[in-house]
A and B are shown apart, each in its own frame.
Chain A
Amino acid sequence: MHAKKQKPANIILAVVMFLLSLFFLFPVIWMLANSFKTDAAITADMNTVKAFIPPALNGSFLDNYITILTDTDFLRYMVNTLFYAAILIILGIVVNGLAGYALAKINFPFRERWVLIIMMLMIVPTETIITINFLFVAKMGLLNTIFGYILPMIVSPFNIFLFRQVFISLPDDVWEAAQLDFCSPIKYFFTMVLPMSKTVVATVSVFTFLGVWNDYLWPSLVFTSSDLLTAQIGLNSITSNDNTTMGQTLAVITMITIPVIIIYALFSKQIVEGVVSTGSKEG
C-alpha cells in the first residue's frame, strides 16, 4: 500500500519514537545489563554508558543466576507458581466454562437473573472481600495450604461472562444432533463446545496464567512461611535478605519476568485482542 521509499518526516518520527522507547525502557535495559554483573561492577559502571551494556561473556557471566538457582529456593517457588497456574487454568475453564455454557444455552430457572447478578459481581473489587476471605481460609485451617490458596481463586464472574458471550453464538443444531446421538452433555461440552471455542479458552488461559504469576496480595496473605510460596512472594523474601546482592536481585526479577515475556511473545495476538475487547465492550 505504502510506497517503498519513506518520506523524511516518517523517518524522523520513527527515530524520535525509537529514542523515546529507549528512554521509556531504560529501567528494563539497566535491569538486564546489570543482572550479569557483580555489585562492584554495577557501582563502577554506574557513571558511564556501560551501565546499560552487559559485561563481556566470560566464566562468571551467569554467576548471579546460578547463585540464586542453587543457593535459594527460588526455582521451587517458580515451579510452585507454574503448578498453581496449571491447576487454576484447568479448574477455571471447567467451572467458569460450564457456568457460561449453562447461562448461554441451557434453559433453567432464573437464568437471565443469574446473568444480571454475575454482571453486578464483576464490579466488586477483590480488595473489598480479601479480608473476609482471609478470615474464612484461616478459620477453615487452610492457611499455608494449596487448597486455601486455590479455592477462592477458581470462580471468576468476568470469565463466566466472557464464556457466555462466546457460547451464545454457537449453533444450536449441533447440540440437538449430539442429543440424538445420545451424547452425554458433559462429554458434548468437552469434545464439542470447548474445541469449537479455542480462542476464548486460550484468552482465559493466558489471562489466568498472567494473573496467578503476577498476583501478590492473596498469596502473601495465605502463604506466610513455607515451601509453598509463589515466585512473587519468594522474590520479596529473597530481595529483603541482606546477603542478596544488587546483581542477584536483578537476576531474580529478570527470571521472574522471563515466563511472562515468553507467554506474551507466544500469545500477543490473544492478549492484545483481550485488552482491546475490554475497551470496545464497555465503550
Chain B
Amino acid sequence: MNMKKNRSTSLLGMAFFGPALVLLILFLFLPMLLTLVFSFTDYFALNPDLTHFVGLENYFTIFKDDLFLAAFWNTVKFVIIIVPAQCIGALVLALLINKVTICKKYFKVAFFIPVVMSLAVVSSLWMQIYSPEGILNTMLGYLGIDAQPFIYSASQALPSIAIMSVWQGVGYQMIIFLGGLQAINPALYEAAEMDHASGWQKFKDITLPELKPLCVFVFITVTIGAFRMIVQPMVMTGGGPSHSTYTLVYDIYETGTVNWEIGLASSMAIVFTLFVVVLTIIQTILTKDKEDKDARKKTKTR
C-alpha cells in the first residue's frame, strides 16, 4: 500500500515537473551542451556536412581576430564607464530619496520611469536627443559648448551609449538600495546620534557596512548587465562608427545568425558565459562570506 502510494506520488511529481523539464532540456540544456560541442568544431550552418572536430582552434582564432578583440575591448570599456556611474548614481539617488520628506513617492516614480521603457524605445529616443541639431546640442549651445557629434563619431559613440544606458538602468538599482536603506534598524542611528556622530560618520560606520552585501549584489548585476550590451548599439549605431560600439554579444550574434559560423560563434559564447559564471561565483562567495559571519555572530551572542 505504502509503496504503491510512493510510486503514485513519484509519477505525479514527474507529471507536474515533466512539461517544464522537456522545455528546459530542449531550449536551455541542449543548446548549452551544443554550444560547448560546436565550439570545438568548424560547424558552418549553410554546409553542415563538412563539419570537423578542430579542437581548440576556434579559441585561438578568436583571440587572434582583430574584430573580436576590438569587440571585447569595447565591452570592457562599457563596463568601466557604466558600472561605477550606475552603482554610485543609484546609491546617491537612494540616499537622497530616503532623506527627502516631501513627495517621496513622486521621486521614486520619476527616477524609475526609464527602467520600464524598453531598450529599443530608449535607443530610438536618444538617437533624436543625440542628433547633431538635436535638443541636447541646443542645450549645450546655451552653455557655450560647441555641437558634439555624439553617436556619429568613433570617439564619442561608446561613452554616449554608456551614459544613456546608465540613465535607463539607474532607477532599478536605486529601488534595490532604497529597500536596503529602509531595512536598516533605526536604533543604530539613534545610538550614533547620542554619541554626536556627524552625518558622514553615520554614513561611513552604519549605512555603508549595513548595505555592503547589497552593494556586492548591485555591483555584480550591473557588471553582468553591461557585459551583455547589444541592443543599444544595434539600434543606434549598428556597432559603428568603424566598429567603435561593436560588443562581445554583438559579435556572437553576427557571427552566428548572420554569417552562420556556428562553430566560431559558439566559442565566443563560451568565453562570454565563462565571464558571467565567474562573476556570479565571485558574488556568491562574497555574499556567502558575509552571511556566514552574520550567522557566527548570532551564535556567539546566543
CB contacts under 8 Å to B, within A8-32, are 10-11, 13-14, 17-18, 21, 24-28, 30-31
User: Does the CB pair A283–B217 fall under 8 Å?
Assistant: yes
Q: By DSSP majority rule, is chain A's interface helix, strand, loop, or mixed? A: helix
Residue of chain B at shortest CB distance from A25: B110
User: Does the CB pair A155–B283 fall under 8 Å?
Assistant: no
Bound form: Cα–Cα A251–B109 in Å:
22
> For residue B108, which residues in chain A have a CB less than 8 angstroms away from its CB?
272
> For residue A47, which residues in chain B have a CB less than 8 angstroms away from its CB?
138
Bound form: Cα–Cα A127–B255 in Å:
13
CB contacts under 8 Å to A, within B81-128, are 96-97, 99-103, 106-114, 116-121, 124-126, 128
User: Does the CB pair B16–A101 fall under 8 Å?
Assistant: yes
Q: Chain B 130-157 against A: per-residue CB contact (8 Å), 1 yes, 0 no?
A: 0001110010000000000000000000
Task: Report which of A13, A131, A213, A282 forms a contact with B35, defined as CB distance below 8 A.
Answer: A131
Known contacts being A154-B23, A280-B179, is A131 close to B265, with CB within 8 Å?
Answer: yes
- Interface segment among B53-61, B66-74, B200-208, B272-280: the answer is B272-280
User: Does the CB pair B126–A27 fall under 8 Å?
Assistant: yes
User: Does the CB pair B20–A282 fall under 8 Å?
Assistant: no
Number of interface residues of B (CB under 8 A): 92
Bound form: Cα–Cα A185–B14 in Å:
13
User: Does the CB pair A235–B28 fall under 8 Å?
Assistant: no
Least distance between A115 CB and chain B CB atoms (Å): 11
Bound form: Cα–Cα A168–B128 in Å:
49
Give the A-B pair count, Cβ closer than 8 A.
258
Bound form: Cα–Cα A154–B21 in Å:
11
Least distance between A12 CB and chain B CB atoms (Å): 10
> Counting CB contacts under 8 A, is B241 at the interface?
no
Residue of chain B at shortest CB distance from A126: B228
User: Does the CB pair B253–A131 fall under 8 Å?
Assistant: yes
CB contacts under 8 Å to A, within B209-247, are 213-214, 216-218, 224, 228, 230-231, 234-235
Bound form: Cα–Cα A45–B134 in Å:
11
> Counting CB contacts under 8 A, is A276 at the interface?
yes
User: Does the CB pair B256–A131 fall under 8 Å?
Assistant: yes
User: Does the CB pair A185–B12 fall under 8 Å?
Assistant: yes
> Counting CB contacts under 8 A, is A124 at the interface?
yes
Known contacts being A30-B135, A46-B135, is A213 close to B287, with CB within 8 Å?
Answer: no
Q: Chain A 77-100 against B: per-residue CB contact (8 Å), 1 yes, 0 no?
A: 000000000000000001110110
> For residue A275, which residues in chain B have a CB less than 8 angstroms away from its CB?
172, 175-176, 179
User: Does the CB pair B231–A216 fall under 8 Å?
Assistant: yes
User: Does the CB pair A249–B128 fall under 8 Å?
Assistant: yes
> Counting CB contacts under 8 A, is B62 at the interface?
no
Residue of chain B at shortest CB distance from A214: B118
> Counting CB contacts under 8 A, is B257 at the interface?
yes
Bound form: Cα–Cα A249–B127 in Å:
11
In addition to A26-B135, A99-B20, 18 A-B residue pairs with Cβ atoms within 8 Å of each other are: A24-B167, A43-B133, A102-B12, A103-B17, A124-B273, A130-B253, A132-B35, A132-B266, A134-B256, A136-B26, A157-B24, A216-B234, A217-B253, A232-B121, A235-B121, A257-B116, A263-B116, A276-B179
> Could you pull out 17 A-B pairs where Cβ atoms are within 8 angstroms?
A26-B135, A30-B129, A94-B19, A103-B17, A108-B17, A123-B277, A155-B27, A214-B119, A216-B119, A216-B120, A217-B230, A232-B121, A235-B120, A264-B112, A264-B116, A275-B172, A283-B180
Give the interface of A toward B (CB within 8 A). 2, 6, 10-11, 13-14, 17-18, 21, 24-28, 30-31, 43, 46-47, 51, 94-96, 98-99, 101-103, 106-109, 111, 114, 118, 121, 123-125, 127-136, 151-152, 154-155, 157, 160, 185, 189, 210, 213-217, 221, 232, 235-236, 239, 246, 249-250, 253, 256-257, 260-261, 263-264, 268, 272, 275-276, 278-280, 282-283
